[in-house]
Amino acid sequence: MNARFGVSRGKTLTVAALAAIVASTISGSASALADGTPARSEHWGVITRNTTGSPVADLRDGPYAMYGTAGSVTSPPYGKGSLGIAVGSSAEKVDFGNEVDFYRDPVLGLTKVGFHVFQTGENASTPGTSLNMPSIRFEIAPNLNPATSPSEYSTLVWVPDAAPVKNRWSGYLDATKSGHWFLTGAMPWCNQTHMCKFTDLRDFLDDGGTAPIINSVAVGKGRDSLWVGAVDGLRINNYVYDFEADGVKARRVF
């Protein structure tokens, strides 16, 4: 049993229904984990070893924008800030995440994952790039049967569907019910050639052996297409991580 995620090895997991969101009583210098253990906001940042070229991943205010004929304003879903991301070409890559506070949490303990995105028409205007979106990435030790994967390292990646809106903030994009997942490395299935859904991914990783564990959590982009936009409200189980100019704040989700 893992205290942080509260699950044991197995295929059946339960979570409380989403009823309300309450900001945690934590200052701008700290955030919170799924089990309420204190964690410092400075544990979030650009993961330098996973960054290539000169991309930008920076906590900022906004973006705010006008959209529609009624002159409505679109704003970040939480607070007044977000994580701004700019990747200038297919040669660049950036990960913004946390390499400390989720270390050794169980992969099979993940039940709720997703975020909100500010997507532009330019990001999806090039033919073949309608799926041009940032991703959520978990570096993990898959601990699969050696016959399935000889690697003790893999990156678990969620690739969202095309953004449902342009030039404004999206609603919540649920990674457990939309888009596709894949694992890097020598995987016979649920790889970049044959991506899978969240439930199928869990079944693949739950092979009855040693439980797979998390090494890091990140939001990232690249290396694929130019993209300029923003992400906010990264959800991991019962916490939403609110990206603000003065730090990353945790909001408890019931």
pLDDT tens string 11-62: 333 333 333 333 443 333 333 344 555 456 789 999 999 999 999 999 999 9
Q: Are 43 and 100 in contact (CB under 8 A)?
A: yes
Q: Are 4 and 214 in contact (CB under 8 A)?
A: no
Residue 233 three-state SS? strand
Q: Which of 26, 176, 7 is nearest to 105 (CA)?
A: 7
Amino acid identity for residue 227 in this structure: W
- For position 68, what pLDDT does the model report? 74
- Worst-scoring range by mean pLDDT, 1-5, 12-16, 178-182, 187-191? 12-16
Mark out the alpha helices in the chain (DSSP H runs). Answer: 198-205
Q: Tens digits of per-residue pLDDT, 118-133? A: 999 999 887 667 789 9
* CA distance to 5, 10, 52, 233, per residue, from 15 (Å): 10, 15, 37, 19
Question: In Å, how far from its chain's centre is CA 252?
Answer: 17
Average pLDDT over residues 197-218: 94
Which pTM was predicted? 0.84
Q: Are 58 and 230 in contact (CB under 8 A)?
A: no
Which tokens sit at 5? Answer: 């995620």
148 φ/ψ angles, rounded to the nearest 5 degrees: -85, -45
